[in-house]
Chain A
């Protein structure tokens, strides 16, 4: 037993030494997780869209029309940059991207209000961003509600202030945005990105290292031999897993705790819960990445093969595209990837303050994945050693030998 532990420790340490000797591994394992979360969060960090430029076309040429435009402009979300004389001119401003939407006040606007008839304001929004559309629509709707309430009070006649308030609103609605209070884009998206950064840098780094060994036919590195003989399959697989998962436990502190803190993102999870959750996540990640990395046959191929999968994995994780709207087959595929339960569990713990009990499903799923990919990584290692045995499959002529 004692020698087993010593052996694992030996594999772990010699693998770690090789990681720190390779500039590619240092770039992908250390520098990218350090810098990339900062860049990504900076892109989204303004969180919300403010002062979206819009142009007003007021065909009513009335005080009521100007009042509507003024009320819209009051909203922090939009800014009325111009009043155009007709729709053609307004469309031109939108096509030039000087404005992102048009608010069209019809000719009969003031007359309809005076006659006590319902009137309609049209909003045209350019659809390059749904956030622009939302800002313009919500501001115009808010203006219509405020102005509508004033009209209602004017019509029902002035009574006591209390009755006026009732005339404005028969039923009040109170909206509370739970967990992501500023309703921000970064607070929603970045937690998922952080988990993906952990998984994908691990995948790309390992695939680079394993690809390098494959092309050089280095199947008997110090981490794989002892006293001139090949170590046991499990000693190698588990020892390497220890190396990468502990390395990533350290990296996780920066990526999952410090980065959200630096940018003031929601972070109400209990650190203890997070660590307990991270253990199966990092283990399943490690074995998953190991399984795939044995497929990389050259140093540079890891990036070429696996980099684009990040875009696919993040959408499969069920945050950008809601889980309840995903077809069943894709849900099944998504559960083959550690980032899926990883992202869902992390968002619940970190952003929503969930307890371990509330993420039990994801937690168990990660342990199942860890066990499954442990087996897969062991089998892949056996295949890899046979496939790249230099006696059976000599290295390519150009590969520099050590």
Chain B
């Protein structure tokens, strides 16, 4: 293993590269300064105040002021702006005389994150505009500022996103992208650990080296990989929870156990794949395809509960899915370990599947010759 260049590049450098790309990429947590175009047909003190307010939001940057909507639309088509706000002519006059002028906001949701984030700012700006008009009208009717505020918004909603109060996207994505890459690599390299022995004609030699014992041969072969992958897992934990200081509510051990079980479960899963398909090249291909699909199937981007039934069922036989649920419980929410017991057990189930596949893998080592 230590001399293999493919392990060095594929199993060591690629995870490092993933961390080196993803963590700096999302360092800001939330995208800031999303370019927006403004079409202000009113150009009054009121509309300018609204625009200043919008521009002051960190997420939105009014990059262009356009004379016509068509001009703004072309900017959007070229991807220079992700949203357009239009203020109608006579906005200030109509608002103060109760004629309900209409603000228009157009978001480009072909880029969903930028679209939704600018939507939030535009919506807030228009609610604030409505409130400030309400306050002005209230003043005219002799209400105090507080009363007017209440009149504009009698009920406010305060949100508490548990475990990720700043809605940091880096917490969301990196906590799962890095383990996702790790699972993919474990799946493929576990297959290749045995496949390459068969390819080299070393299978019987390996069994002999282990004194004829299949479990000793298989585990002896896998243990160095387990140690390598766990070092990568611990490095990820150091980056995520140490350097980036992402939430780790229940401390080090539950998540360290989660990483270890993810690695062991993936090794077990890969052994089962090899035992079933036998062919080295084909098993690596299947491990790769399943490993890639596991990332969306784990449900950290689009929730599993919103998927079709068969996809939900599939997600339950993906190690990364159980890892994800444990991470939500133990790192983000900090609930007692007991609530996660089922998913830790599920990961151990994959390890058991691997043990069940061991005779099959031993058989492959003893008898198979390499088939391209």
Contact = CB atoms under 8 A, between A and B. Distances in A.
Nearest to A36: B289
B367 interface: no
A297 B95 CA distance: 71
Interface in B320-359: 324-325, 328-329, 332-333, 335-336, 339
A261 to B, nearest CB: 17
Contacts of A347: 110-111
Interface residues of A, number: 118
Nearest to A72: B157
B18 A312 contact: yes
A393 to B, nearest CB: 15
Nearest to B79: A348
Contacts of A320: 113, 173
Interface in B291-312: 291-293, 295-297, 299-303, 305-308, 311
A398 B200 contact: yes
Interface string B120-151: 00110011011001100100000000110111
A153 to B, nearest CB: 11
Interface stretch (B101-109, B209-217, B256-264): B101-109
B199 interface: yes
Contacts of A179: 108-110
B41 interface: no
A128 B293 contact: no
Given A131-B306, A311-B177, A95 B335 contact: yes
A49 B306 contact: yes
Tell me whether chain B's interface is mostly helix, strand or loop, or mixed.
helix
Nearest to A126: B162
Contacts of A119: 154-156
Contact of B199 (A46, A174, A398): A398
A308 B110 contact: no
A214 to B, nearest CB: 12
A233 B192 CA distance: 34
A255 interface: no
B218 interface: no
Contacts of A319: 111
B6 A163 contact: no
Contacts of A124: 160, 162
Contacts of B254: none
A325 B32 CA distance: 6
Interface in A271-317: 297-301, 303-305, 307-312, 315-316
B100 A171 contact: yes
A18 interface: no
B221 interface: no
A188 B306 contact: no
B297 to A, nearest CB: 6
Contacts of B162: 124-127
A352 B296 contact: no
A301 B296 contact: no
A239 interface: no
B184 interface: yes
Contacts of A148: 153-155
Interface stretch (A132-140, A244-252, A368-376, A378-386): A132-140
Contacts of A46: 306-308
A339 B101 CA distance: 44
A40 interface: yes
Contacts of B291: 307
Contacts of A36: 289
Nearest to B24: A327
A93 B181 CA distance: 32
A329 to B, nearest CB: 8
A234 interface: no
Contact of A300 (B173, B280, B289, B311): B280
B21 A315 contact: yes
A299 B25 contact: no
A352 B110 contact: yes
Interface stretch (B9-17, B233-241, B265-273): B9-17
A120 interface: yes
Interface centre among B6, B9, B325 (most CB of A within 10 A): B6
A131 B196 CA distance: 43
A62 B127 CA distance: 28
Interface centre among A48, A181, A303, A327 (most CB of B within 10 A): A303
B333 A95 contact: yes
B111 A322 contact: yes
A211 to B, nearest CB: 10
Contacts of A126: 162-163, 328, 333
Contact of B100 (A125, A166, A204): A166
A42 B314 CA distance: 12
Contact of B134 (A113, A133, A170, A396): A170
Given A177-B109, A305-B9, A120 B156 contact: yes
A177 B111 CA distance: 11
Contacts of A9: none
A43 B284 contact: no
A123 B159 CA distance: 5
A352 B372 contact: no
Interface in A163-209: 163, 165-166, 169-181, 183, 185, 187-189, 191, 204, 208
27 contacts: A28-B285, A43-B302, A95-B329, A97-B325, A121-B156, A127-B328, A127-B332, A129-B301, A129-B302, A133-B167, A144-B156, A147-B155, A173-B102, A173-B123, A173-B130, A175-B106, A176-B106, A178-B76, A180-B112, A185-B301, A188-B112, A266-B110, A311-B181, A311-B184, A316-B25, A324-B114, A329-B24
Given A118-B146, A166-B98, A175-B107, 9 more contacts: A50-B306, A130-B169, A155-B151, A172-B101, A174-B102, A174-B105, A311-B181, A321-B31, A348-B110
